[in-house]
């Protein structure tokens, strides 16, 4: 089975992107985690994206600020790209969010929430995509949702 790729523009993004990795671990889904910067390592980006369809079924891409990594990767592959806007110092991630979400028509990036929630949901959405062709993953995701539902108390403490 093809893996998931978790890519990020910088080491500093790992504080957020580790939550995508933890979530994939919970489901025993194999992934690679890679630092690929669109502006600092453009050749690495090109190499990765051009070969990505051989190895990966979904790419989760975290980036902050002028966050062009997810869009650039999406321009070079038809593997689905899920973008996670990293919470930046300047605008708390609004800059990252708008950079990733505002892809002009033709090359989509599925954009998740800013920060930890986005990283976790990018992993869950990847799992949901995989579950369409894998009954075991579908079952695990259904159990995850049921457990989550049961964990919600009817009244606050």
Kindly report the three-state secondary structure assignment for every residue of 44-68: HHHHHHHHHHHHEEEEEEEECCCCC
State which H helix or E strand residue 82 sits in: strand 81-85
Region 24-83 residues binding ligand RP5, contact defined as CB under 6 A: 37, 63-65
Taking contact as CB under 6 A, which single stretch among the options 10-18, 21-29, 52-60, 136-144 is the one that binds ligand RP5?
A: 10-18
Query: DSSP letter at 103?
Result: P
Decide if residue 10 touches ligand RP5 (CB under 6 A): yes
**123 vs 3, 14, 25, 41, CA distance in Å?**
12, 14, 10, 25
Q: How far is the CB of 42 from ligand RP5 (least distance, A)?
A: 12
Secondary structure class of 57 (helix, strand, coil):
strand
Q: How far apart are CA 13 and CA 96, in angstroms?
A: 12
Q: How far is the CB of 88 from ligand RP5 (least distance, A)?
A: 7
Decide if residue 86 touches ligand RP5 (CB under 6 A): yes
Q: How far is the CB of 78 from ligand RP5 (least distance, A)?
A: 23
Q: How far is the CB of 25 from ligand RP5 (least distance, A)?
A: 22
Region 92-111 residues binding ligand RP5, contact defined as CB under 6 A: none
Q: How far is the CB of 63 from ligand RP5 (least distance, A)?
A: 4
In the bound state with ligand RP5, the residue whose beta carbon lies nearer, of 89 and 149, is 89
Secondary structure class of 84 (helix, strand, coil):
strand
Q: How far apart are CA 130 and CA 124, in angstroms?
A: 10
| Binding residues for ligand RP5 (CB under 6 A) | 9-10, 12-13, 37, 63-65, 86
């Amino acid at each position: 089975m093809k893996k998931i790729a978790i890519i990020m523009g910088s080491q500093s993004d790992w504080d957020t992107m580790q939550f995508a990795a933890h979530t994939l671990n919970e489901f025993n889904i194999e992934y690679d985690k890679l630092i690929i910067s669109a502006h600092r390592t453009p050749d690495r980006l090109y190499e990765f994206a051009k070969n990505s369809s051989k190895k990966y079924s979904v790419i989760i891409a975290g980036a902050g600020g002028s966050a062009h990594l997810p869009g650039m990767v999406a321009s070079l592959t038809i593997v689905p790209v899920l973008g996670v806007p990293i919470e930046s110092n300047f605008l708390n991630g609004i800059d990252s969010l708008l950079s990733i979400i505002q892809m002009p028509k033709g090359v989509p990036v599925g954009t998740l929430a800013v920060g930890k929630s986005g990283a976790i949901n990018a992993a869950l959405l990847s799992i949901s995509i995989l579950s369409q062709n894998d009954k075991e993953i579908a079952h695990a995701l259904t159990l995850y949702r049921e457990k989550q539902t049961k964990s919600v108390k009817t009244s606050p403490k």
